Structure 1
Amino acid sequence: MKNNYNISVLLFLGLLINTSCVSKKEMIYFQDIDGVEINETIKKYEPKIQEGDILNINVSAIDAMAAAPFNLYEGTGIGTPKPITYLVNSDGEINIPVLGKIKVEGFTTKQITTNLTNKLKSDYIKNPIVNIRLINFKVTVLGEVKAPGTYPVLNERVSIIEAIGMAGDLTIQGERSTVMLIREQEGKRKSVTIDLTNKKIFNSPYYYLAQNDVIYVAPNKAKINSSAVGSNAGIIISSISALISLIAILTR
């Protein structure tokens, strides 16, 4: 029976190794990357403002008194006043002092800056300087990564590669060829599949992420199969032992 048990263990280990195998091709990122030229549109990518975004807007000029009405601050207590931020409402607008409601949804911060500068210059301030920042840009990375979570992005631009890097990279059990990107735009949610092993990712329209994007890395087949084997290991060993014992009895 000892020999039979040893055989069952060897069979089980063989089964475990077989379900845990991952090829080199499935693990390597950006294969055959040499010679890839980045599309000009991708190079110039800028995120567009969406409903629910929060903007920080500062207006300055040589004449500080002329710019003051366009800069509101929270509270009047001790300490440095905190500038009021602007939440993009369900109509895609923000409400700026003096100027009133301004449509911002669907525009980049650069385009909004140009628009506000022109409005101020034409009627209110000589040579205004407008600075706009999107302050609640964040992305979420879930699944087979070392540190899943939600990550803030300070510079309003982050690639899927950088986001995965912030999450500590994929684990060895992560499926690299079918990473899911979930994005919500204009009230509609869509998902796309991205192959991190393919060099075409560098020219994908989804290479750079939009605010609130969600990345999900599914477990690969080896992880799924090993999980199934692990949860039923006792049953598998018992079944194999019983089968070998039966064969031993029948072949005596």
Structure 2
Amino acid sequence: MYQKIKPAIILLAIACAVVSCTSSKKVVYFQDSQDFETIVTENRFEPKFKVDDVISIYVATLNPEASAPFNLTIGVAANGQSESLDYIVDKNGDIEFPVIGKVNVLGLSPEELKIDLKERLSSYLKDPIINVRLRNFTVTVLGEVRSPGTYPIIGEQVTILEALGLAGDLTIKGRRENVMVIRDFDGVKVYNRLDLTSKNVMNSPAYYLTQNDVVYVEPNKSAAVSSSLDNRTTIALSILSLIVTTTLFLTRN
């Protein structure tokens, strides 16, 4: 009996071995990093304002009455505080700022806009404190992730790894070596592809995401089950299991 079922068992073992060998190569991140290796990267990322961005700007001084004309409000809320209005960047990259008029913000970072406004307001206010925030920083993650969707970002920066973390990470079916980031620059779509299996992904211009970026994770070709086990392999294993079961049944009779 053992001699009759031995070939089937061997084939089953080979199939399992192939699956276990290939799966880790397709799902492990940063495969080219070495043990105890230290990677030092200088973070120079700053978000830049684009057309249709929503910006919150608040100007404060020691004299609230002096700075009041430079803050857009829509009246007084129930708590007695004034509700501020946000600025929307128009198609020319401008915002309409109280008193001083149009200010072009296209391509500026929040810090650069602070400096620009402080210089413009220096003839009106003494030592103004200016707070600038990007209000519409969201990223959309689609494809082979556990929770696709659009996610608001708190703060001024987010990496692609953090965005994927918000979406629950890639499923086993996601292509880790070919993740696409779709970015809009002044109406022009820019496509970047990142290889998450390499540590060099951290040097990519798309490693830090910008507002309204879309991250798309393509499905792999093998529609994996457990670790890149495709449907044909599943069928093959089922057939082998049936052969073993049938062989055992026949040999007992």
Class of the TM-score when normalised by the shorter of the 2 chains:
0.7 to 0.9
Mapped to 2, the partners of 1:201 and 1:222 lie a distance apart of 24
Mapped to 1, the partners of 2:22 and 2:216 lie a distance apart of 20
Show the counterpart of 2:39. Answer: 36
Q: Give yes or no for contact 2:182–2:215 (8 Å, CA) kept in 1.
A: yes
Q: Give yes or no for contact 1:139–1:212 (8 Å, CA) kept in 2.
A: yes
Mapped to 2, the partners of 1:65 and 1:180 lie a distance apart of 50
Q: TM-score, normalised to structure 1's length?
A: 0.79
Distance 1:204 1:85, change over 3 A: same
Runs of 4+ in structure 1 over 6 Å off: 14-21, 224-228
Q: Give yes or no for contact 2:105–2:113 (8 Å, CA) kept in 1.
A: yes
1:23 Cα deviation (Å)? 2.8
SS at match of 1:196: coil
Show the counterpart of 1:85. Answer: 86
Higher share of residues assigned strand: 2
Q: How does 1:1-252 map to 2 (within 5 A)?
A: 22-31=22-31, 32=33, 34-38=37-41, 40=42, 43-76=43-76, 78-79=78-79, 80-121=81-122, 123-223=123-223
SS at match of 2:202: helix
1:195 Cα deviation (Å)? 0.2
5+ long unaligned stretches in structure 1:
1-10, 238-252
Q: Give yes or no for contact 2:76–2:83 (8 Å, CA) kept in 1.
A: no
Q: TM-score, normalised to structure 2's length?
A: 0.78
For this pair of structures, how many residues does the alignment match? 223
5+ long unaligned stretches in structure 2:
1-10, 240-253
Q: CA RMSD in A?
A: 2.8
1:50 Cα deviation (Å)? 0.2
Mapped to 2, the partners of 1:119 and 1:200 lie a distance apart of 42
Q: Percent identity?
A: 44
1:15 Cα deviation (Å)? 9.0
1:180 Cα deviation (Å)? 0.6
